[in-house]
Amino acid sequence: MKRAAKTASRFLRRFWRGLREWCGDAAYESYLRSNGRLTGSCRTLTPAEFYVEQLNRRYSRPNRCC
């Protein structure tokens, strides 16, 4: 019984993590992980700065359907 509960718990954690990554909710955590691997003089953005940067990146390109 303990093993089934552990397996179900692991499945739910992985599912939740995948769902957060799919919808973009875990973007800041991914940024922090990748920024930690990079070397150089880049400073880490705060969550608010990261959000504004993402918005600027998303809407700075032309977005036309026709």
The pLDDT assigned to 1 comes to 81
Does the pLDDT at position 33 exceed 90? no
Task: Please report whether residue 36 resides in a domain.
Answer: yes
Task: Please report whether residue 66 resides in a domain.
Answer: no
Q: In terms of pLDDT, which residue wins out, 42 or 9? A: 9
Task: Please report whether residue 65 resides in a domain.
Answer: no
The pLDDT assigned to 39 comes to 56
- Rounded to the nearest 5 degrees, what angle is found at the Cα of 63, between the Cα atoms of 57 and 66? 170
What pTM does this model have? 0.64
Cβ–Cβ under 8 Å, residues 19 and 10:
no
- Parent domain of 9: 2-59
Task: Please report whether residue 64 resides in a domain.
Answer: no
| pLDDT tens sequence across 7-26 | 999 999 999 999 998 998 88
Number of domains in the chain: 1
3-class SS of residue 16: helix
